[in-house]
Structure 1
Amino acid sequence: MTATVAAPTGVSEDILRTARTQVLEEGRGLTEEQALACLELPDERLDDLLSLAHEVRMRWCGPEVEVEGIVSLKTGGCPEDCHFCSQSGLFASPVRSAWLDIPSLVEAAKQTAATGATEFCIVAAVRGPDARLMSQMRAGVAAIKDAVDINVAASLGMLTQEQVDELVEIGVHRYNHNLETARSYFPTVVTTHTWEERWSTLTMVRDAGMEVCCGGIVGMGETRAQRAEFAAQLATLEPDEVPMNFLNPRPGTPFGDQPVMSATEALRTVATFRLALPRTILRFAGGREITLGDLAERGVLGGINAVIVGNYLTTLGRPATEDLAMLADLKMPIKALSATL
């Protein structure tokens, strides 16, 4: 259950008016204190918050929506203990270790491109890549680039400088490495590595010239204050993309019995993150189906400007056709490949 923390006196009273000037007109994201004030707005102000977040998205990002597909190159058997993840080899979850071959990887990229997507992310459940995984990445990225016109992203855990340089060399467009949650809450979520280790990988990726994709999961038991902290920490990192995941409790994991976040709380969080990150690609990712149900459209009209289509790594998503139809109904064009290069 989300703890309620009172917003500082004087901040919440006119927070949307302040945000309209500061974020919409000037393009400066919310501070941590201001983000908390938005998260503490009463339900009757939610529509106002979503409306402002949509205006901010349209002003600073435009109407286009970036579409991405993801595939797991190496599934399960991860040595880390991320408490939300059924791919950890430390938990009694039903996911078992498996590798995807290169032809299957290429076929998945082709299917993703056929939806109109411009991004294809290769994901591996590892602490960090070993020589075998880097070899698979080199072969896989080359095969994809020979077969289909799509940007290739990767998510391979924590990296060394040498591995960062190799990913740049083989043409990886964007690197995903989520901070997952606020720094103050991270030890409750993961104990086998630190928040600072993740931050180190992200700064190396950014300094090497790859686009940075970094977000996390909300609804893992963190307080609203910690969500505001997380939004502010992401703003400091200045990622190109922030994937917004909502906890989908997985059997056999330490967070398997956590309640699902309410749709209202999820939408409030999306809008607040948009106001904290006015120019960032904010992507609907895992858990939105179970959390928002048929209310996903309100998120797209409340700050979201990117979606993952199809299935996720270990959970089912919506059919790509449904998301594409929703975007067409909303008259939101899919971002062209040339616009993401």
Structure 2
Amino acid sequence: MPPLITYEEALQLGAIEDHARIEALIERAWLARLEHFGDSTDLCSLVNAKSGGCAEDCGFCAQSRFAEAETPMHAMMTPEQILEHARAAEAAGAHRFCMVTQGQGLSKRDFQNILDGAKLVAENTNLKRCASVGHMSVQRAKQLKEAGIQRVHHNVETAESYYDEVSTTVRYEGRLRTIDAVEEAGLETCVGGILNLGESREQRVEMAFQLAKIDPTSVPINMLNPRAGTKFGDRDYMDPWEAVKWIAIFRLILPAALFRLCGGRVENLGELQQLAVRAGINGVMMGNFLTTLGSEPEDDRAMFEELGLNVARQPDNGADPRPDNRSGWLEGETPRTPVDELIDRQEEANLWNPELQLRRKKKTAVPPRPDGAANRGLEVVQVGKEGS
């Protein structure tokens, strides 16, 4: 579906600062969201299936070998461990589950673990299945589909004109090739980016219209949660009203895409998270994020229910990935969910928990960034000379 506003209108809306005008914009986005999706929601949860040092130089990421930050690490999970976290996500009320690994590609053995994990999740839960495993060929994308994956996540991160400020080792064109491979394999695409990386207002509009051209099924919206020792480690959080405004603008540019709030939503939006949902959001990343903590399941579900939206699980074994089209059914009975009643707090199930499951390894040496930029946000300790 084409955008509901023009490029020029988006630029004008991006300039507004008055809260009353932003609220009017949010109402416009809310009506667009209701028109296309009704009361349906698309709640997601993830597992960081493999974490560790990454050879790329993405400026927002502490896992990068170029970041002066401790590396969050753990080995590749077994398929059974992936299933255990999926069952916990289902107990929290998630509709879909994403298996995520660090870096731009997986070894054959690690990729097989993802395939086997996806099969277990498909056979033993009522969750829709997603994967985020870096760059891939059409062949690998087809293997994911055969294993039961329905949607693949691969962000563009930012506008093409600003991209070189974000990464120089992962090319923008390479990201587009992966997205094309996923589509060629017959999978849905999940493509978004991160706000507040230092991009201009014009570049935010540019990214939104580039996403509209890609036409992904789902658009994850992240807001920078600055990590000390990274290129963007000293940036402030986004003003919550500014963040909500841009979510509404993106909704009007991408009226038919599923929007979900992901990384940085707690830190940047605070008490305005529900207003962000009204600005056009279909779902959130429930539980925790790759390396940081999230919200309690009860609070996330309430955020949607209080707006009259339906967070109930859909009894279709995830056969049809889109929540606004529930006609797809698999043969046989729907597998039993892990609990009869949804949990309210994370401690009630074994959700992915970065504080407990990651170990932080201090880098022994950090090479200079390929673009020559400094890492920021580190505490500087002034050591006086002896006798001063």
Question: TM-score, normalised on structure 1?
Answer: 0.89
- Structure 1 residue 289 displacement after superposition: 0.6
Match of residue 32 from structure 1: 7
Equivalent residue runs for 1:204-243 within 5 Å: 204-243=181-220
Q: Is the 8 A contact 2:116 2:147 kept in 1?
A: no
Match of residue 52 from structure 2: 76
Number of matched pairs: 316
Residues of 2 paired with 1:201 and 1:115: CA distance? 31
Equivalent residue runs for 1:1-341 within 5 Å: 28-43=3-18, 44-99=20-75, 100-334=77-311, 336-337=313-314, 338=316, 340=321
Residue identity matched to 1:57: R
Q: Is the 8 A contact 2:72 2:291 kept in 1?
A: no
Name the SS for the 1:167 alignment partner: helix
Residue identity matched to 2:242: E
Residue identity matched to 1:114: A
Q: Is the 8 A contact 1:218 1:245 kept in 2?
A: yes
Report Cα offsets for 1:78-136 as digits up to 9, x if no partner.
Answer: 11111101122332222333122332211110011112222100000011122122111
Q: Is the 8 A contact 1:76 1:89 kept in 2?
A: no
- Structure 1 residue 27 displacement after superposition: 6.4
Residues of 2 paired with 1:50 and 1:92: CA distance? 39
Residues of 2 paired with 1:134 and 1:102: CA distance? 11
Match of residue 15 from structure 1: none
Name the SS for the 1:184 alignment partner: helix
Residue identity matched to 1:209: G
Q: Is the 8 A contact 1:35 1:231 kept in 2?
A: no
Q: Which moved more, 1:223-232 or 1:43-52?
A: 43-52
Residue identity matched to 2:230: T
Unpaired segments of 5 or more residues in structure 2? Answer: 322-327, 329-388
Residues of 1 paired with 2:135 and 2:8: CA distance? 30
Name the SS for the 1:290 alignment partner: helix
- Structure 1 residue 151 displacement after superposition: 1.3
- Structure 1 residue 51 displacement after superposition: 0.6
Q: Which moved more, 1:163-172 or 1:141-150?
A: 141-150
Residues of 1 paired with 2:102 and 2:66: CA distance? 13
Q: Is the 8 A contact 2:138 2:184 kept in 1?
A: no
Unpaired segments of 5 or more residues in structure 1? Answer: 1-25
Q: Is the 8 A contact 1:91 1:252 kept in 2?
A: yes
Residues of 1 paired with 2:298 and 2:218: CA distance? 23
Residue identity matched to 1:240: T
Residue identity matched to 2:286: V
Residues of 2 paired with 1:325 and 1:151: CA distance? 21
Name the SS for the 1:154 alignment partner: strand
Q: Is the 8 A contact 1:65 1:307 kept in 2?
A: no
Q: Which moved more, 1:199-208 or 1:271-280?
A: 199-208
Q: Is the 8 A contact 2:122 2:148 kept in 1?
A: no
Residue identity matched to 2:79: I
- Structure 1 residue 319 displacement after superposition: 1.1
**Percent identity between the aligned chains?**
37
The structure 1 segments of at least 4 consecutive aligned residues displaced by more than 6 Å after TM superposition are none
- CA RMSD of superposed structures (Å): 1.5
- Structure 1 residue 335 displacement after superposition: 6.0
